[in-house]
Chain A
Amino acid sequence: MNDDLLPHFLIEGRDLTEQAAHDLQMLARGPDKIALDSCFRAIHTLKGSAALFDLPPMVRLLHAAEDLLGAMRSGATADPAALPALIEVVDQTDRWLDELAASAVLKTGAEQVEKRLAALMGRAPPPEASDTDPVTTRLGGVAIRYTPRADCYFAGDDPLAIIRAVPGLVDLRIAPREPFGDLARYDPFTCNLVMEAVSTAERGAVEAALRLVADQVVLSELAQTASVETVEAEVRTLRVAAERVDHLSDLTDELVIAKGGLALLAAQAERLAEGHVLAQALRAQQARLDRLVGELHGTVGRIRQAPLAPLFNRFPRLVREVARSLGKTVSFEVEGGETEVDKAVVDGLYEPLLHVLRNALDHGIETPAMREASGKSAASALRLSARSAGDRVVIEVIDDGAGMDPRRIQDMALARGLIDESQAAALDDRAALELIFLPGFSTAATASDLSGRGVGMDAVRSAVARLGGRVEIASQVGKGSTIRLVLPISMALTKIMVVTCSGERFGLAIEGVAETARVAIGQLTPVRDTEAFVLRDQVVPLVHLADLVGASRPTRPEVLRVVVAKVGDESVGIVVDAVVDRLDATIRPMSGLLVNAPGVNGSTLLADGTVLMVLDLQELVG
């Protein structure tokens, strides 16, 4: 039985009945091929989903409705009574969903309701023989959930071809893994799909077809005889103290690291006499553990996600109060509160957002009199919005106030000694706007009681950076300003290369590493105040990690171990003592004293319990 699927069915079922009802309304106004197709798909999906549970009356009724819609699509029928009957079917389905939500079973008498509505549609209940219809009534088989890796297109996988190769495929569903977000920035080559299917074949055959992507697939057997009663307990939601989820999440992160130890053991076993078999067994075990830990990490990550609404809902009252104290009239709009992000992000955003909103009210938005004088409406519009874009959430505070004048900001920064004349001359408008992020900057011509609190946009920027995000700014004089916070939705796993330098270990994100090389001392050539070596006709300058992290260089070995990194378009060789490991880890933002340490991305915990600092190559070398 698909215990864990019922909650999904209830959510998806609501969407589908709503869609079908909407489509039928459109159809009631006149022929509409798009609405008819959409309605057919919605009913087809509802039927397919209902077939996963023990709900014969619902499946049969939806099947009849699908048949009727199919006949309408092919032009075989245009019965004017069809639409009202279909609307009743959809409403009844919605009521059945209520019943399932309440008690996990359909009330008695469902068969009578089914027969009445089937008759209304001019369709006799389908004969018993149709119970053999594999899609609608098959209850045995294997349910497949295939979540292709985000980079699978690059690896050459075509998830559709892979699922197509599964024998006995009867019901395929394709959906986005995460909301697509801003389509203007749609990334065509990052896989964002989840495929769910049912196969009537033996589990072994399904596994064989999916073995190359076994780490991305979850299979569950569908029992031949289903008992709906067992579902009941699964429908409830559970409220759990946040600390426990945090603890669970910490443990999962540690598990990710601990599992990395197996690779080490396998390598050690390999070196033993006769150790090959043991090493193989360890690797196989590791692959299994990899898959399970990856799944666990994903699941815990989703538990940790919370909607922004409770945070956003705190602001309207605060905005009203601040606006009143400043004598300004503001219409404040909030949208996108349903967007879900990691709870750490939600928790860390209150202060920064409050500050940005205060800034907008204090410095951006003009008094009603000033607004009217410049031909604007007396009431200003201030908007706080959120939307997801891929694996990021974009939160914007937009006002229609006075905007920021880059030249004026530049003058003020000069006056405050934050920059000098030559620096000022080099700034374009965008760079000038960025000056507001310098510590100790305030653009208010008159200090109000809201400024001078010792919190500037610099604090906003570092708070957002701690959460793994960035702050962007756009402004037009006289039109208003937009402050945009772009943050990760979840704390994802990053591939890290572990290197040593002066007896300490450091992490480098593999993304920035082009290759590793050994360079003999004799191959080095001096270039200005540093050294370089030639890698396939290209001169690559060398830097020593020891210098970058402020350690002393070890005695010079005969052969240098070099990590070649791409920084912008340039290759740079970073001399390390050794490359010791690779691992998947959750990078945590730095906290405490090291919050603003330059060149440090964050930290992660190693298998032996020590903290590994993960370096930001771009910042260190660039």
Chain B
Amino acid sequence: MSLRLDGDVIRFEGQCRVEDTETLVALLHKAPEAKLDLAACQGMHAAVVQAMLAFGRPVVAWPTEGFLKDHLAPALAGLRPTKL
């Protein structure tokens, strides 16, 4: 299990794969106020990143893994709630 809802925080752990996207989207719907904690995330599929972009939830902690830290966090700089 690489995603879990912990209070009002969705925690990403280990490898978040394409199959986890549905879980993530379900959690995002279930907990509309939840923020994201990526600290323990070791890898992320593009579909997971896309869901993060779409839902625009605030990230409370970014990953420490090299690529995610150096490139993903700045790459998602535009991460803001989608305007409808």
Residue of A nearest to B25 (CB): A188
Residues of A with C-beta under 8 A to B44 = 160
Q: For A504, what are the chain B residues with a Cβ–Cβ distance below 8 Å?
A: none
B50 and A192 contact, CB distance less than 8 A: yes
CB contacts (< 8 Å) of A15 on chain B: these are: 78
Contact at B77–A45, with CB atoms within 8 Å? Answer: yes
Judging by beta carbons under 8 Å apart, are A41 and B47 in contact? Answer: no
Contact A41 B79 (CB under 8 A): yes
- CA separation between A584 and B56, bound complex, in Å? 35
Q: Which of B63-79 contact A (CB under 8 A)?
A: 67, 71-79
B26 to chain A, nearest CB (A): 9
A153 touching B18 in the complex, CB below 8 Å, given contacts A160-B46, A172-B71, A176-B54: yes
**Pair B75/A174 contact, Cβ less than 8 Å:** yes
Q: Which of B21, B49, B50, B60 contacts A33 (CB 8 A)?
A: B60
Interface residues, chain B, CB within 8 Å of chain A? 18, 21-22, 24-25, 29, 44-47, 49-51, 53-55, 58-60, 67, 71-80, 82, 84
Known: A169-B71, A172-B71, A175-B78. A189 touches B84 (CB 8 A): no
Q: Which residues of B contact A153 (CB under 8 A)?
A: 18, 46-47
**Cα distance, A191 to B46, chains bound together (Å):** 8
Q: A349 on the interface (CB 8 Å rule)?
A: no
Q: Assuming A33-B60, A158-B18, A160-B44, is B75 touching A186 (CB within 8 A)?
A: no
Which residues of chain A are near B73, meaning CB under 8 Å?
Answer: 41
Question: How far apart sit A153 and B82, CA to CA, in the bound complex (Å)?
Answer: 22
Q: List 19 A-B contacts (CB under 8 A).
A: A15-B78, A37-B58, A42-B77, A45-B77, A160-B49, A161-B45, A164-B71, A169-B71, A172-B71, A172-B74, A174-B53, A176-B50, A176-B53, A181-B84, A182-B84, A183-B54, A186-B54, A189-B18, A192-B50
Check B45 against A44 for contact (C-beta < 8 Å). no
Closest 9 CB pairs of A and B: A41-B77, A45-B77, A160-B46, A188-B21, A159-B46, A172-B75, A180-B54, A172-B71, A174-B75
- Residue in B25, B45, B46, B76 whose beta carbon sits within 8 Å of that of A41 in the complex: B76
For window 107-133 of A, CB contacts with B under 8 Å fall at none
Whether B25 contacts A158 by the Cβ 8 Å rule is: no
The residue of chain B having its C-beta at the shortest distance from the C-beta of A192 within the complex is B50
How far is the CB of A174 from the nearest CB of chain B, in Å? 5
Across the A-B interface, how many residue pairs have beta carbons closer than 8 Å? 97
Q: Do the beta carbons of B77 and A160 come within 8 Å of each other?
A: no
- Give the interface size class of chain A: 35 or more
Q: Is the CB of A189 within 8 A of B54?
A: no
A188/B77 in contact, CB under 8 A:
no
Whether B78 and A188, one on each chain, are in contact in the complex, defined by CB atoms closer than 8 angstroms, is: no
Q: CB of A34 within 8 A of chain B?
A: yes
Taken together as a complex, chains A and B put the C-alpha atoms of A42 and B21 apart, in Å, by: 26
Report the bound CA distance from A159 to B22 in whole Å.
18
Whether B74 lies near A179 (C-beta < 8 A) is no
Residues of B within 8 A of A164 (CB): 67, 71
Partner of B53, one of A37, A148, A161, A175: A175
- The answer to whether A38 has its CB under 8 Å from any CB of chain B is yes
User: Roughly how many angstroms separate A193 CA and B52 CA in the complex, as a whole number?
Assistant: 12
Decide yes or no whether A304 CB sits under 8 A from chain B. Answer: no
State which residues 280-295 of A face B: CB under 8 Å: none
Are A45 and B78 closer than 8 Å at their CB atoms?
yes
Question: For A171, what are the chain B residues with a Cβ–Cβ distance below 8 Å?
Answer: 74
A38 touches B80 (CB 8 A): yes
**Chain B residues within 8 Å of A176, by CB:** 50, 53-54
Residues on B with beta carbons closer than 8 Å to the beta carbon of A451: none
Partner of B46 from the list A19, A37, A193 (CB cut-off 8 Å) is A193
Say yes or no: is A343 at the interface (Cβ < 8 Å to chain B). Answer: no
With a CB–CB cut-off of 8 A, which chain A residues contact B21? Answer: 188-189
